[in-house]
């Protein structure tokens, strides 16, 4: 969906004008009520669906006399009564101050009133006068705005999803109180604006989450009209949502979820899809229209493969939030809570084993979310979710699952998530498939550089780092981890809805599920900037390399080592200032008048005996700068305004907010040519640990940092990792074509070699490892040949079909025919695992 717009609207402009909404090949949508075989043949199943809809969507599973339900239900009743009493229908509004079309607020108020009528304990439960007010309001809005002859000017989503969903919901909840004539007129209006042919083709605005919403509207229309044919249509039209896709909107085999063609969106449209399907599965279970498509299995699989990886301690990472990241403070926690609610509801339709895992996972999220406690938030937003979550939290038989260690690299969405004990990191990139950023409806107008390698990270206790007005106050040209041209950009530069894809194809990397080598061939957004960026994800560090940084915009180019929303003390030392102990700068909050204070330190080059440059931010982590440009630091107070929400009740973000920031960056100068950098990010490291890492430059050895290869070796972990931007060699690894390779030598005499084709274009690849190897123990089908002996030579077939995914070969090290100094040809001997 493309969300709600605030453009001016005209309505009641005649049926002919409504043709703009009707797709090619559709009629005018005016299908006679009850038409078609089997229509209106009995109300028994629909009575079940009406009860289920009320229980699943309005709330159930709680004691209305117990707290907090008693208070919340009474509050709902009071709000509904106030809405009822304030109704003053005119030709231009239903409530004073909510002038038509009022696509969000007016239908939402009617639904709130209907829920107060349908739910127990509101003080208005079953109140005929309240139901009559809802019925009158629905019909008034239908006549003045949502009439079958209206001109649907503006955003299609309001006419096809937002308005009909709320109006039909309210009408279903009040049941027979909406008389036959008003009900028929509402059905006619829905048929006009949501003709059946919108479900004929899986394309355009009828894909992914939008398709689920359209099917939900169709089902509600069927329930209100007791129409079994339309109920069957609503269910059958879900089928295209389930299968994996290879392009465009939907789920990918690697766990990616994309909407708007080029935007990773688990935290927006993805959770709308997941919640919508969970609702439909629950409502339709046991009915004649139960969803039985065998591909629905994929939706259950995606809970742990797609959604769980982007949820950390109860919030959903902004790298999966699209244009909504700056909508409100703590929006990431709201997204995480919505995912948790959908997972618990979907669990009621899942297997017992899945339900047990998911409940443990959600329990862990809820217990760790201290920024916005999940149970308390559910009490205010969704009583059904609150009841399910309370049941999980109070059940001692359900363990609280911890954060899963390991690395997830959904290459098709140009994202990476790394978890190790005590910290987590998320990386967002842009590629020929994935846009730099998404904006639309006035939202996220300065998110230009979020795809330029933004590295989000959290140590323990940092759950609100990007939540508490971060997007309203951060310098948008200095997002952490990015390399950017400082060329000024217009708000909303580039195409809307994620149409900001660069040409670069080498974006992704290789992972063995624990460690990873990730890279991005970066084309700067709105500039001539080109760079090659790599991140090597380890146990306690992310090794960050940049090379080939070149631009010709006449402005400076910077790499942002970090930009933390904090004023905690910053200490810098080592080669940056010649002081091994470091120089500490106090709290930014204590600086007089909130002035910005910056410093520039000497070039951060590795030293022969004194170690590398370093910096430490108290309570956050450390940084070791091994090579590159001078280090700059800035401590400042930044003031901004909350971005617009896009809703009818949005106040425009009138109140300014101020937050403290500490920024560390490398200045590559004006129009750099082949500039580079090397630094280590140490999440959660203390001051002593940071100094120790800086004094031990051999712990991570940089083998190459050029526009041809970027490579590191970590002897303590047995890791050698190379991003081959072109064919060539680095260290003891060589590749015949661009690829990513991660080698991990284990203590048991075996090693794994993981390879990937981030460009997705290789028909063949040969990787050579200059180490003695006795035999291949396990290999993927794509391995077409292997030579062992003094060195290992692996030949892979068509990696282009693997969608950038990693493939791992396991080998046994050593060969009896090799002795010190011997040089022999490899043997063609390998064993495929059975």
Task: For residue 264, give the nearest of 448, 415, 458 by alpha carbon.
Answer: 415
Comparing 221-235, 440-454, 568-582, the range with the smallest average pLDDT is 568-582
How big is the chain by its Cα radius of gyration, in Å?
29
pTM: 0.92
Q: Is the dihedral of CA 388, 391, 394, 395 positive or negative?
A: negative
599 to each of 474, 596, 664, 722, how far by Cα in Å?
19, 10, 10, 34
pLDDT category at 611 given cuts 50, 70, 90 is: low
**Would you call 563 a catalytic residue per the annotation?**
no
Q: Does the pLDDT value for residue 833 go beyond 60?
A: no
Positive or negative CA dihedral for 428, 434, 437, 443?
Answer: negative
Residue 159 is classified by DSSP as: I
pLDDT of 479 strictly over 90: yes
Higher pLDDT, 180 or 29: 180
- Distance, in Å, from the CA atom of 803 to the CA atom of 799, rounded to the nearest integer, reads 8
Q: In Å, how far are 138, 154, 194, 791 from 10, measured between CA atoms? A: 19, 9, 19, 73
The set of residues, in sequence order, having a beta carbon less than 8 Å from that of 807 and lying 6+ positions away, is 754, 755, 756, 780, 782, 783, 796, 799
Confidence bin at 697 (pLDDT 50/70/90) = confident
How far is residue 713's CA from residue 439's CA, in Å, rounded to a whole number?
40
Per-residue pLDDT for 34 more than 60?
A: no
Q: For the residues 455-465, what does the mean pLDDT come to?
A: 95
What is the pLDDT at residue 400? 98
From the candidates 260, 312, 418, 439, give the one annotated as an active-site residue. 260
Check pLDDT > 90 for residue 820: no
Of 456, 502, 507, 458, which Cα lies nearest the Cα of 482? 456
Give the model's confidence band at 629: pLDDT under 50 very low, under 70 low, under 90 confident, else very high: confident
- Does 601 participate in catalysis according to the annotation? no
> Band of the pLDDT at 832, cuts 50, 70, 90?
very low
Q: How confident is the model at residue 7 (pLDDT cuts 50, 70, 90)?
A: very low
**Residue 267 CA, distance from chain mean position:** 4
Whole-angstrom distance, CA of residue 705 vs CA of residue 778:
31
Alpha-carbon span 113 to 78, nearest angstrom: 10
Query: Does 68 sit behind a cis peptide bond, omega within 30 degrees of 0 on the bond before it?
Result: yes
Residue 253 has pLDDT above 50, yes or no: yes
Catalytic choice (210, 444, 705, 723):
210
Q: Supply the mean pLDDT for the chain.
A: 90
Q: What pLDDT is stored for residue 375 in this prediction?
A: 97
Mapping DSSP onto H, E and C, the string for 528-580 reads CCEEEEEEEECCCCEEEEEEEEECCCCCEEEEEEEEECCCCCEEEEECCCCEE
Q: How far apart are CA 434 and CA 416, in angstroms?
A: 13
Burial 277-287, CB ≥16 within 10 A → b, else e: bbbbbbbbeee
Mapping DSSP to helix (H, G, I), strand (E, B) and coil, where does residue 162 land? helix
Mean local confidence (pLDDT), 347-361: 98
The residue from 69, 83, 146, 269 that is catalytic is: 269
Entry field: residues in the chain: 834
pLDDT at 559: 98
Report which of 471, 662, 479, 457 is spatially closest to residue 558, judged by C-alpha positions: 479
The stretch 532-543 carries a mean pLDDT of: 98
Helix, coil or strand: residue 23: coil
CA distance 372 to 27: 48
For residues 474-499, average pLDDT: 96
Work out the average pLDDT over 205-223.
Answer: 97
pLDDT for 687 equals 97
Residue 583: per-residue pLDDT? 72
Quickly state the pLDDT bin for 810 (edges 50, 70, 90).
Answer: very high
Model confidence band, residue 32 (pLDDT cutoffs 50, 70, 90): very low
pLDDT, tens digit (0-9, with 9 covering 90-100), for 119-141: 999 999 999 999 999 999 999 99
Assess whether 260 carries a catalytic annotation: yes
Apex 426 CA angle, 465 and 429, nearest 5:
120
At 748, the pLDDT band (50, 70, 90 cuts) reads: very high
List C-alpha distances in Å: 173 to 614, 651, 662: 63, 30, 52
pLDDT above 50 for 402: yes
């Amino acid at each position: 969906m493309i969300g709600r717009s605030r453009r001016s609207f005209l309505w009641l402009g005649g049926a002919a004008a409504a043709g703009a909404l009707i797709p090619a090949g559709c009629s005018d949508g005016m299908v006679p009520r009850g038409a078609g075989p089997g229509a209106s043949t009995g109300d028994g199943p629909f009575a079940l669906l009406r009860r289920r809809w009320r229980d699943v969507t309005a709330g159930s599973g709680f004691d209305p006399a117990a707290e907090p339900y008693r208070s919340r239900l009474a509050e709902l009743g009071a709000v509904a009564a106030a809405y009822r009493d304030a109704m003053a229908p005119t030709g231009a509004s239903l409530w004073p101050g909510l002038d038509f079309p009022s696509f969000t607020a007016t239908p939402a108020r009617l639904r709130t009133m209907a829920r107060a009528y349908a739910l127990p304990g509101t003080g208005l439960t079953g109140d005929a006068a309240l139901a009559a007010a809802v019925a009158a309001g629905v019909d008034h809005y239908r006549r003045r705005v949502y009439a079958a002859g209206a001109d649907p000017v503006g955003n299609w989503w309001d006419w096809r999803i937002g308005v009909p969903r709320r109006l039909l919901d309210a009408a279903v909840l009040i049941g027979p109180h909406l008389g036959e004539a008003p009900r028929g007129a509402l059905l006619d209006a829905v048929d006009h604006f949501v003709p059946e042919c919108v479900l004929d083709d899986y394309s355009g605005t009828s894909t992914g989450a939008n398709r689920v919403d359209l099917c939900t509207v169709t089902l509600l229309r069927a329930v209100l009209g007791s129409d079994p044919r339309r109920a069957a249509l609503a269910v059958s039209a879900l089928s295209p949502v389930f299968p994996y896709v290879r392009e465009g909107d939907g789920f990918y085999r690697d766990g990616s979820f994309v909407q708007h063609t080029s935007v990773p969106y688990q935290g927006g449209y993805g959770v709308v899809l997941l919640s919508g399907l969970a609702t439909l599965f629950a409502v339709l279970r046991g009915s004649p229209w139960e969803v039985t498509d065998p591909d629905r299995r994929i939706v259950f699989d995606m809970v742990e493969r797609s959604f769980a990886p982007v949820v950390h301690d109860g919030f959903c990472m902004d790298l999966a939030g699209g244009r909504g990241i700056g909508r409100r403070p703590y929006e990431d926690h709201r997204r995480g809570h919505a995912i948790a609610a959908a997972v618990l509801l979907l669990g009621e339709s899942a297997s017992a084993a899945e339900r047990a895992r998911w409940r443990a996972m959600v329990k862990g999220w809820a217990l760790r979310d201290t920024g916005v406690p999940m149970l308390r938030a559910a009490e205010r937003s969704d009583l059904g979710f609150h009841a399910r979550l309370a049941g999980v939290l109070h059940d001692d038989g359900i363990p609280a699952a911890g954060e899963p260690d390991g690395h997830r690299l959904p290459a098709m969405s140009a994202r990476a998530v790394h978890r190790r004990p005590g910290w987590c990191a998320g990386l967002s990139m842009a590629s020929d498939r994935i846009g730099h950023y998404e904006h639309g409806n006035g939202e996220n107008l300065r998110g230009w550089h979020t795809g330029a390698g933004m590295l989000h990270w959290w140590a323990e206790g940092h759950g609100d780092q990007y939540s508490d007005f971060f997007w309203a106050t951060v310098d948008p040209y200095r997002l952490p981890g990015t390399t950017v041209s400082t060329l000024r950009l217009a708000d909303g530069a580039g195409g809307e809805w994620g149409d900001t894809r660069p040409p670069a194809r080498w974006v992704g990397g290789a992972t063995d599920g624990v460690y990873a080598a990730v890279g991005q061939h970066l084309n700067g957004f709105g500039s001539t900037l080109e760079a090659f960026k790599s991140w090597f994800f380890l146990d306690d560090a992310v090794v960050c390399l940049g090379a080939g940084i070149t631009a010709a915009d006449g402005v400076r180019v910077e790499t942002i080592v970090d930009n933390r929303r904090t004023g905690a003390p910053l200490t810098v030392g080592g080669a940056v200032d010649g002081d091994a102990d470091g120089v500490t700068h106090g709290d930014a909050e204590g600086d007089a008048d909130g002035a910005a204070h910056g410093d520039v330190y000497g070039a951060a080059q590795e030293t022969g005996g004194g170690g590398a440059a370093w910096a430490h931010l108290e309570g956050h982590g450390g940084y070791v700068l091994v090579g590159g440009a001078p280090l700059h630091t800035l401590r400042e107070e930044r003031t901004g305004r909350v971005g617009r929400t896009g809703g009818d009740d949005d106040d425009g973000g009138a109140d300014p907010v101020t937050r403290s920031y500490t920024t560390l960056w490398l200045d590559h100068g004006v129009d750099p040519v082949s500039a580079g950098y090397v630094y280590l990010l140490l999440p959660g490291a203390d001051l002593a640990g940071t100094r120790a890492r800086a004094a031990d430059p051999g712990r991570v050895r940089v083998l190459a940092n050029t526009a041809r290869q970027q490579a590191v070796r970590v002897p303590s972990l047995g890791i050698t990792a190379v991003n081959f931007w072109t064919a060539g060699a680095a260290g003891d690894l060589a590749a015949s074509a661009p690829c990513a390779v991660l080698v991990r030598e284990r203590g048991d005499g075996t090693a794994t070699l993981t390879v990937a084709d981030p460009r997705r274009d290789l028909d063949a690849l040969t990787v050579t490892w200059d180490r003695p190897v006795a035999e291949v123990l396990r290999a993927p089908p794509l391995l077409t040949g292997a030579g062992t002996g003094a060195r290992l030579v692996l030949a892979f077939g068509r990696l282009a079909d693997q969608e950038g995914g990693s493939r791992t070969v396991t080998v046994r090290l050593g060969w009896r025919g090799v002795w010190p100094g011997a040089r022999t040809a490899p043997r063609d001997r390998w064993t495929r695992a059975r």
